[in-house]
Structure formats: structure tokens, C-alpha cells
Structure 1
């Protein structure tokens, strides 16, 4: 599905991106991540390197307390086992009741009709942010009107790919940072979704938060790829880049369409 985006990227400057990054580092928000089994460790370390704090329980009997007391909730459907299926609605209800931003990453809904149906049910909660790729977008919203309805309800769509597209009721963005090597490491996209959730904690304009979070993560990926010898060394280099990324790094590398 092609998004019709006006690309109001004039609102995205390197100064704005770094300002939001510094707000994350100063606030050190806690992100409760119900993520997939493959991504848990990498996601937790990504948040820590960024300056945020992870919590990750999926136990139904305690997940509400963790979600409502966190600064944001991330839901990732990468391994949708029974424990996660039961915990996810409980966590979203608790986070919403507490006024916390909720981000959903409907991983591989294009591969599983059962998972896609579950993800569509989650849209009833009106998540603040939905991060997905083009294939997942088409599966979840077969018609353009389906996507428009979700956006009209207040959800920001962050559609990632060679060019990242962010669409909302207000600002829209097109972004072009990142490196192909990032796709050769499992759970990179999942960890990136956690970065977006962290940025949503410090900026009420969710579209701007998503644009800044994606830019920071993808610029860190470029820096990491320039130092890594391959996928095996990309992960530690990416964590180091997130930890040490500077205003100059962002100024030199930020790419908008």
C-alpha cells in the first residue's frame, strides 16, 4: 500500500532530533516491552544504550502493574504465544488508563491470518503509534480507507523500508537514513520500535517523536555499519553508537526526502 504523504519534513531538523534524544537521556523513561522471544535481550540493551530503562514481564497477573507504572508500552507480535496473547490486552488497557503512550509492532501479520486478526482487534484500543513495514501494512489495512480510519482515530503510522514514511492527522515525514547491514541482524527492527516508544515519552507530537526516534536509530545504524566487519560485530557497534551519538553525527547524516 502506498501512503499519500505530504512529507512535511521542514519541521525535522538535526537540532530537533538531538533535542529529543537529550530529553530521553535526561528523563530515562521506562519502557515496558512485551516483545518477542528472539528480540528481548537486544531490545533491552538497545533501550539501555539509548538512555532508557526496560521492563519485560509477560505474566498476566503482574503485567498491568508494570504497564501502568511505565512511561510507555511497546507491544511486539513477533512470537505470539498464548502467554503474550493473554497479557497484551491487559497491558494495553492498563497503559491507556494511566495515560501512557502505546506502540504496537504487528510483526509478520502478513504471514499469519490468525495473527493479523488479533492485530486488527488491537486497533480497537487506538494505539498511539503503529510501526510496520509495507507488507504488514497491506495485510493489516487492505484498503486505503482502513488506514485512514486508524489515523483519524489518532494513531500515527510509521511505515519502515528503504524510505521510512510517517503519517498522522498532522505532520507527515519521509526519512532516508539506515544501512542494509541492519537487515542482516535479527530483531533490529524490533529494537528500533522500542526506540520510538522511548521518544514518544518525551514528545506529545507522536509523529515528530517517531521521526526523531527513527532518525536516531538509523543514523546509529549507519555509524555502526561504518565500523563493523559484518553482522556479528554490528550489534555491539550499534549499541555503542546509540550510547555515544552526538549532535554533529545527526547534523552530518540526517536525510529527509
Structure 2
């Protein structure tokens, strides 16, 4: 397993924070369209997070129009949290459009540890060449059959030819040759519906402007974690945290990223 410095990317925290800052600057300059097929409970918050970061969200799950929307987008998020009949058809159409147009797409395999059908769908989707996978520890166990250790995350990323962003108390972002850990975040991020789903959309937004998927996923994880810490300082609890989180993303800058980043 190579370190970031061995594989051409710096392992220094300052340089990794700089990658995130540059990606956020590109997001605001380019305002990419990001199409999200996501949880019904996460749609509004996800759209607000993307807007705060500088992206332009679209949320339609209509099978009749999703392909056209994806074709006009810079990236696609497929979140399988709400798997009604319409969304199952829309996911297939959206991924087909993304592959045909060489549009990067991100998979968030929500609750695949709960229902076998979800795990089967996630396996099938991964075979279609997603650019990044953002998931938690239980979902990683379900998709890989292995414990969510940094070594296993790196091995899975290498075998599948994708980037894995494993979130938890310490986040791990790995591809075939590089790995970084991020210790930013706040407990309230796990107490509010849709924060994880929105951060998956943030991964997609970053991939729309940063051609290196590992750098893009690392940037999104770092931006989201730092915004969580800053937002929590201005919130009174989980109820007011979502608004403070969106505010923190909208005002985040390179100086704040550099001063808050806990990444290696």
C-alpha cells in the first residue's frame, strides 16, 4: 500500500487541506450541475447544501426525464435510501445516461445492511463503474464482507477500481494507491436526518470539478467535517444545527479549512 506521497500526492496535512480549498474554489467558480436521485427525506437539505457549496442541484426521479437531466449534469449521485418502483427505474436510466456520456457518478448504498435486495442492487450498480462510493461501517461490511478497517477499505477500493469514502468517527478515503484519514466532524451530524446523504451529494459535486476522484472525495469529506464543527458552534442543538451547517458551508474558505483540518 503506497502512501499519498509515494503515489504522487502529498501526505502533508497542509497540502491535503489545500486540495480541499482548491476544490471548493473550483466549485464556486464553475457551479456544476449535480443530479441527485436521493432519499425523499433528504432532498431539500441536500439541495441546500449543494447550493451553499456553489453547485446547482437537480432532483427529479421521473424515469421519463432523468436521462436528459443527467446528460446535462457534471455529476450524478445515486442514493438508494428510498427505493420505490419509480426510483428503481430512474436509477437504471440515470446510470445508463451517465455511463453513455462519461459523466462521473457516486453511489451511496443506504441501508444495504438491512435488506438483501438493497445489497444485490448495490453490487449490480458497482459493476457499472461508479467513480466513488460513500458509505458507513455497516454498509461497508455488507458490500465487501470485510471489517471496515483502513486496510480492508484500501483493498476493496483497489479491487473495484473506485474511490471509497468510509465515514465514521474517523473518515477514511482510499483508492488503489492512496489513503487519507479525516478526523473532523461533530456528533450532531449523526443526529440530523440527511446530513450523510447531503455529504454524498457533496462528493458528487466535487467530482464534477476535480478530475481526480480521490482528491474530490477527500475534499468533500473534509469540507463536510469542518462545516459540521463550525456549524455546531453556532447551533443550540440538533434542531438548529442543519441551518448552521448550511451557513458554515456557504462561508467556508481556504483559511478556515487550513486552520481546522485534521487530516493525514
In 2, Cα distance between the equivalents of 1:228 and 1:107? Answer: 27
Q: In the TM superposition, what whole-angstrom CA distance separates every residue of 1:128-151 from its partner, at most 9, and x where no partner exists?
A: 000001110001111588984663
Q: Give the Cα–Cα distance (whole angstroms) in 1 for the partners of residues 142 and 66 of structure 2.
A: 29
Structure 2: distance between partners of 1:101 and 1:191: 17
Residue 234 (structure 1) aligned with residue 241 (structure 2): yes
From 121, 128, 132, give the equivalent of 1:125: 128
Structure 2 gaps, min length 5: 6-10
CA-CA distance at 1:6 after TM superposition: 4.7
Structure 1 residue 69, shift from structure 2 partner = 1.2
Shift of residue 201, structure 1, vs aligned partner:
1.0
Contact (CA 8 Å) 1:141, 1:147: kept in 2 or not? no
Instruction: Name the counterpart of 2:45.
Output: 42
Q: Partners of 2:154 and 2:116 in 1: how far apart?
A: 18
Farther off after superposition, 172-181 or 11-20: 11-20
Q: Which consecutive residues of structure 1, in runs of 5 or more, have no partner in the other structure?
A: none
Please report the TM-score for the alignment, with normalisation by the length of structure 2. Answer: 0.91
Matched, 1:218 2:220: no
2, 12, 16: which is aligned to 1:10?
A: 12
Matching residue within 171, 178, 186 for 1:164: 171
Q: TM-score, normalised by structure 1?
A: 0.93
Distance 2:223 2:69 in 1: 27
Are 2:159 and 1:183 equivalent residues in the alignment?
Answer: no
Q: How many angstroms does 1:153 deviate by?
A: 4.1
Residue pair 1:5, 1:167 contacting (<8 A) in 2 also: no
Structure 1's 137 and 5: CA in aligned 2 closer, same or farther, altered over 3 A? farther
In 2: Cα distance, 1:30 partner to 1:96 partner: 17
CA positional deviation for 1:14: 2.4
Q: How does 1:1-257 map to 2 (within 5 A)?
A: 6=3, 9-10=11-12, 12-143=15-146, 148=155, 151-257=158-264
* Contact 1:158-1:210 within 8 A present in 2 as well: yes
Q: 1:124, CA displacement in angstroms? A: 1.4
Deviation sequence 1:194-249 (CA, Å, 0-9, x none): 11111111111101111111101110110000110001111111111111112221
CA distance in 2, matches of 1:241, 1:149: 33
Change over 3 Å in CA distance of 1:16–1:230 after alignment to 2: same
- Give the conservation status (yes or no) of the 8 Å contact 1:103–1:128: yes
1:198–1:36 CA distance, 2 compared to 1 (3 A): same
Contact 1:5–1:173 under 8 Å retained in 2: no
